[in-house]
Every structure is written in C-alpha cells, then in structure tokens.
Structure 1
Amino acid sequence: MDIGVKKELLRRCFKKIEERLGEISIAIQQAQEATENETKSSAGDKYETSREMLQQDLNRFHIQLSQARKDHILLQKIEVGIKKNVEIGAIVTTDYLTYFIAVSLGQQEIGGKKIVVISPASPIGKLLVGAATGEYISLNGTKQLITGVY
C-alpha cells in the first residue's frame, strides 16, 4: 500500500471533519437565534414545548461539535508512515476488506481500490487495533484474516 493512498485518505478525513464542524456551527447558530426569537405567546405550554425542543437540539449539536473536534484532534496526531501493528493511522488489508483506522467516514475509493475508513472505537476498529498481520478477527459471524498492515 502506497503512502500516497494514506495521505489522500487523511486529506479526505480532514475535509469531512472540517465540513462537519462548519455545518454543526451553523446549526448551533440557527438554533440559538430561534431560541432568542421565541416569544411567549398566550399558548404558554406550546411556548415551553418549543423552547424545550430547541434546547434539546442545541444540546445535541454541542455533543456533535465536541465529537467532531475530538476527531479533528485525532486526525492531527496521525503519522502517515508505515505501521507494524494495527493502530490509528494504519491501513489494514484483510481477505475481506481494506480498512483505514482514523474516523468514521465510510467507504472511499482511491485508484480503483475500495477502503473503509473506520473509527478505532467502532466494533470492527476495536477488534483490529492491536492486531498484526496473520491474525484473525471475527465480527457478526464473518472471520477475516489480516493480510497486511501499512
């Protein structure tokens, strides 16, 4: 596996996280504006329900923003060099799929090769991290042989 592939995967991860950070920031701003513009009407219960829903949205957006910031920090720590064992920043080939251990981004295609970008905290990521070439992992009845770590 070529270092250029890893650099491209990392670039795509950064782009996705930066887009996510922007989208969440806009959503927070819009929710805060909606909360500020909410005025108490004669239907007091309706007003309280609306404010509570807006507050729940704000809380959810703040949690998403916090996670996106953590993902961004994790990406900054990734070194693009070749890895010996599966760790953050490793490309892992199995007899089933190829994975890049970084953040949850899903399947990417680079140079005709399909690579699934996963978080080390995902179920498959937890099984892969710490493993080495020649080891088997099994998830949901699917057994995979690790054929390479890069």
Structure 2
Amino acid sequence: MNSRLSKSSILHACTIKQQMTISDFEKEVARLKSEVTTRDESASQGNRGASEQNELLVRMEHELLFLRNELMTLGNIDPDLTCEEIEIGAVVVTDQRIFFVSTSIESVDINEKSVFGLSVHAPIYAEMKGKKKGELIEYNGLRYKILDVY
C-alpha cells in the first residue's frame, strides 16, 4: 500500500494558496493606492501620514512581486519528478512533519495531513539539502529523521 501524498496534489494546493495570498495583496495594494491618490488630491494637512502610506505601499508592492516570483517557482516544479535526495521539488517526510521544498508556504492540508512549503532560502534547507531517506536533520535544537523523500 502506498501512503504517499500525491506530489501533484501538494503542488496544486500550494499553488492555490499562493494565488489566494497574491489576490489578497493585490486588493490591499489597490486600496492603499486609492487612499494615497485621495489623500494627494486633498492634501491640506501635513504629509506625514501620506509619507507613511507611500512607504507601506512600496513595501507591499515589493512583497507582491516576491509572491509572484514564488508562484513562478511553483509553476516550474515538475510533479512527476521523483527525487531521491532533498532538493527543490522534493517531498520530505520526517518523523515530525512533511515538507515540500518549493516556496515558503505556511502549510496546506492534503488528505488530513499538513504539508509545509519550504523555500530553498530557508536556513533549515541548508541542513537538509542533499540528504536521503534514513538520514537525520538537526536544526535549531530539533532532530528530524527522514522517513521518505520523493
């Protein structure tokens, strides 16, 4: 019996979650732009509030660009690729949690199991990269036994 979660199901769930996050950010950026435009049109008070909103808008736009790049990273992962060691696109089953090496996504639930999206830029990934089934990962005082990689 194969109890592995489908990599394509994990990828699909991560993609949907990322698209929803992007949609939320797009709405917030549009709202902030509207406020900044409205404030510019009626700029009778000091500019302190407007300056803070402009800075927030710039940060939000940068985050939105980052999120879109992460979505492209997800789009470049081949769900049919079987990984024998931990690398981008690998599903890593440990004795404590399941990781999907892709992008940083809090977690997605698939078949009542939580899968955590893990970016290759995350510090724990440096400890995991290249490891195989049966090996140990030690990070931040925690020890993970790798039960499966695919």
Q: Structure 1 length normalisation: TM-score?
A: 0.85
Question: Mean Cα displacement is larger for which, 18-27 or 1-10?
Answer: 1-10
Where structure 1 has 5 or more consecutive residues not aligned to the other structure, the ranges are none
Where structure 2 has 5 or more consecutive residues not aligned to the other structure, the ranges are none
Structure 2: which amino acid aligns with 1:122?
A
CA distance in 2, matches of 1:5, 1:33: 42
Alignment of 1:30-109 (within 5 A): 30-38=31-39, 39-41=42-44, 43=45, 47-80=46-79, 81-109=81-109
Shift of 1:108: 3.0
Does structure 1 conserve the Cα–Cα contact (< 8 Å) formed by 2:91 and 2:99? yes
Which residue matches 1:18?
19
Does structure 1 conserve the Cα–Cα contact (< 8 Å) formed by 2:83 and 2:90? yes
Structure 2: which amino acid aligns with 1:125?
Y
Structure 2: which amino acid aligns with 1:143?
R
CA distance in 1, matches of 2:30, 2:91: 37
Which deviations, in whole Å up to 9, do the C-alpha atoms of 1:3-55 show, x marking residues without a partner? 762111111111111112222222222211211111221x4xxx311111111
Structure 2: which amino acid aligns with 1:40?
A
Deviating above 3 A after TM superposition, structure 1's stretches of 4 or more consecutive aligned residues are 1-4
CA distance in 2, matches of 1:18, 1:85: 28
Structure 2: which amino acid aligns with 1:36?
T
Kindly tell me the number of residue pairs found equivalent between the two proteins: 146
Secondary structure at the residue paired with 1:75?
A: helix
Structure 1: which amino acid aligns with 2:129?
V
Structure 2: which amino acid aligns with 1:74?
T
Does structure 1 conserve the Cα–Cα contact (< 8 Å) formed by 2:29 and 2:57? yes
CA distance in 2, matches of 1:113, 1:33: 40
| 2:146 is aligned with 1:149 | no
CA distance in 2, matches of 1:100, 1:146: 13
CA distance in 2, matches of 1:56, 1:11: 34
CA distance in 1, matches of 2:136, 2:53: 47
Q: CA RMSD in A?
A: 1.9
Shift of 1:106: 2.3
Which residue matches 1:124?
124
Q: Structure 2 length normalisation: TM-score?
A: 0.85
